[in-house]
Structures are given as C-alpha cells and as structure tokens.
Structure 1
Amino acid sequence: MIAIINTGCANINSVRFAFERLGVNPEVIRDPAQLKQFDRAVLPGVGHASVAMKRLRDQGWDTAIAEYQNPLMGICLGMQLLCDETEEGNVQCLGQIPGKVSYLETGQLTSPHMGWNTLSVCNAHPLTQGLNPDDQVYFVHSFAHASNANTLVESEYGTRFSAVVAKDNYAGMQFHPEKSAKVGATLLNNFLNWQL
C-alpha cells in the first residue's frame, strides 16, 4: 500500500493519477499517525519552502517522516524539504537527505527552470533502472540541491544539479515524474519496486 502525503502544498491528483495508470491505487492521507501503516509513501510539494515546512511541523509530519522506515520519496518541493536546509526562506528542512538547496544559478537562461531536460545517471541504484542517456523529464523549479554523494541522477540548466537523490529509505526527484510521460512512469515504477 502506498500513501500520498497531503499537506495542502501540492496537486495531489496528478500524482495519484500517475500511480493509478501503473495499476496502483494510492491512499491520500492527512494524518501523520496514518503513515506507519503504509509500505511506502510519497511527499509531493509545490510552492514556497518556508510555508510548506511550517505546515509539516505544525501538523506533525516532521516527526512521522523521521520515524518512517519504509521507502519515502519527495517530488519537486517535496524532495527539497527532505534535505538539510534551503535558501528559499532560509529554513531548516527535514534533514533526511544531506545537502543544501540553493537558488539555481541559471546564467543567461530564464528562471525558473521550466520544461523538459535531459537526465544523466551518475550512481547506479534501483531507482535509476531503465534510464537511458537521452531520457528527458519535466522540471519546474527555481531552487536546486547541489550534487553530492547522495546524488543518483543529475541534470543541467545553467549549472549541474541533483535531479534524483537518495539516502537510506529516503529519495527525491526534483522534476515531476507524474508529468514526464514514459520516463516518469518508469521512475515511479522503480519506486514501487524499490526494496531496501
């Protein structure tokens, strides 16, 4: 059973529909006490990091996520919230995936980074199975996690940044797999099959 965490900071339906297309019926949960009942969970997110972190703490999700021992994946802002800290609002985040999220230095390119971009696998992992060198996914973000030892996949937009990260039972995807066609479906399926 898979849970989609609803903190009021994401479009839950697009994520739910993506899993349903894979033949899985996730349950949207609003109570942190429910989390431990599920085999895996997804933390989607859009909007401002400081607002989202306040909601997570106010609702008790920070403790529930820290105590969770099954696979948990953050999507977009959800990935950033799993990291140590972010420059967006200068807030401490959940601290489950080491690294700081900083403003994405795009150089001459338009900010935010919005649209399809290529992935580059840098560390083999069950979450990266079936990815090809020219595969593209759909991004919408202005902040990014710098590449480090926990980076599985990178992308580049002005500078290189983490597209997929993982540490222990926690993982994150900076892009929107639910909006990334066949490649996104492959990655979501990898998450469903990920065994710790």
Structure 2
Amino acid sequence: MTIAVIDYGMGNLHSVAKALEHVADENIVITSDPRAIRGATRVVLPGQGAIRDCMGELERAELRGLVDELLSNHSKPLLGICVGQQMLMERSEENGGIDCLGYLKGAVKRFDDKQLDEHAQRLKVPHMGWNHVSHIQGHALWDGIEDKARFYFVHSYYVSASERSQVFGATHYAGAEAHVAIGKGSIFAVQFHPEKSAAAGLKLLENFVRWQP
C-alpha cells in the first residue's frame, strides 16, 4: 500500500509527506516516476506558487498526460492541495489568463485587494493565515471535522466552481465566496494546507488515507 506525492518540481512536498506519515501506515513516496504513481493506491497532487509555473513544470516533467489519466479514469483516490486544487479548473485569471487541466467546470479568480475589513482597513492579498471553512455538503473527508473548523491558507487566487454539487467547503474573504474544497468521484481537492492546519488538517489527511470512494 503506497501513497504517491507527485513531484513535478512545485509544492510543499516534504511537509505533505511528513504529515501523511503521521496519520498513515502506508508507504509514502515523493516521486516523478509514472510507474510508481500508477502503481500507488492513492495519489496527492500538491502545488505552490504561480499556477503558470505549476502548469509549465507539469508539462516539462512530462506528467500532464498521467495526471489527466488519473483524473479521467478515477482508478484511485486523489487529493489536490493548494494550487493542486486550482489546476483542476478550466482557467485561471492569473497572468492574463492561464488554461488549467479542465477537469472541473469553473474559474480561478483573484481576490479584490480593494475590499475593506470591519475597521475600514484594506484587506490583505494574499489571503494568509487561518480561516473558517463551512461545510457546503457532507463528504467522507469531513468525518470528525467540525463545520467551520479553521484551516491555514496562503493564496491570492481562489476557485469559483460552476457546479454547486461539486463544492464541499467554502470560506469568505475580500467579499468573495471561495470554494476551498471541491471534488467529484474519487477526486477531492482543497485550497488550504492540511499539512499546516494542526489537528483539523491531520484529520482530513487521515480521512483521505481511509477513504474508499
């Protein structure tokens, strides 16, 4: 039993792997080897930084086709994290417009940095720190996690999904409802960093390890 963390040169790979080791008995590998990824029982798609760079590095590492394959055939559970969530959408507003993987319908939008908080101070973008996540609907990965539990975020762009049935969690910031947990079939993806989100984050990773979609 192996969980593969896809290494395409982007993402908080070692922190994710360490968090998974904390909650899983399975072997955790960080790998760019297509055979190892195909042979794994579960897969994690991380991402960090600019989506243009993440998409470019996925192509450069010759892993774009493999990720498309995993998304299309639902052969095993896959967890996307941070930009690994954004990449699942059709298009991002970043850098004037970047095509994404197109697995789920919707866009990746930038927070409005002109929004004010309750003290009439301009809200900071990127959205950085802890925020509450509301459960839009039930999911196995929410088991044992309270509605409106807090998770850790670092992002300037957020997912706006077109199909509400694929939204499992949301948070509000800078006047926007960010769809921070989305999924379909054996795919689940989150904008926040579960590996940095203390007990709630570890519980979500534990649920992913046990998930039988």
TM-score category (smaller protein): over 0.9
1:140-185 deviation digits (Å, cap 9, x = unpaired): 0000001542110001112211111001222211000000000001
1:12 aligns with 2:13: yes
Find the aligned partners of 1:14 and 1:160 in 2 and give their Cα distance.
28
1:96-137 deviation digits (Å, cap 9, x = unpaired): 222111112351211100000001001111122222134100
Deviation at 1:63, TM superposition (A): 1.0
Deviating more after overlay: 3-12 vs 22-31? 22-31
Deviating more after overlay: 51-60 vs 70-79? 51-60
Segments of 5+ residues of structure 1 without an aligned counterpart are: none
- Between the two proteins, the alignment pairs up a number of residues equal to 196
Segments of 5+ residues of structure 2 without an aligned counterpart are: 117-122
Deviating more after overlay: 5-14 vs 137-146? 5-14
* Structure 2 length-normalised TM: 0.87
Q: What does residue range 47-86 of structure 1 map to in structure 2 within 5 Å?
A: 47-68=49-70, 69-86=75-92
Find the aligned partners of 2:87 and 2:148 in 1 and give their Cα distance.
28
Percentage identity across aligned positions?
A: 35
Deviation at 1:76, TM superposition (A): 0.5
Read off the aligned partner of 1:145 and give its amino acid letter.
Answer: V
1:56-111 deviation digits (Å, cap 9, x = unpaired): 12222221112122111110011111221111131111122221111123512111
Deviating more after overlay: 168-177 vs 18-27? 18-27
* Structure 1 length-normalised TM: 0.94
Classify 1:59/1:33 alpha carbon distance in 2 versus 1 (closer, same or farther; 3 Å).
farther
Runs of 4+ in 1 over 4 A off after TM superposition: none
Find the aligned partners of 1:34 and 1:134 in 2 and give their Cα distance.
36
Partner SS for 1:52: helix
- 1:39 corresponds to: 41
Select which of 168, 176, 179 maps to 1:152. Answer: 168
* Aligned-CA RMSD value: 1.4
| Kept after mapping to 1: 8 A contact 2:24/2:209 | no
Find the aligned partners of 2:49 and 2:81 in 1 and give their Cα distance.
12
Find the aligned partners of 2:24 and 2:80 in 1 and give their Cα distance.
21
Deviation at 1:9, TM superposition (A): 0.9
Find the aligned partners of 1:39 and 1:155 in 2 and give their Cα distance.
31
Read off the aligned partner of 2:152 and give its amino acid letter.
Answer: Y
Find the aligned partners of 1:23 and 1:120 in 2 and give their Cα distance.
26
Larger radius of gyration, structure 1 or 2?
2
| Kept after mapping to 1: 8 A contact 2:132/2:149 | yes
Find the aligned partners of 1:121 and 1:59 in 2 and give their Cα distance.
35
Select which of 128, 132, 142 maps to 1:128. Answer: 142
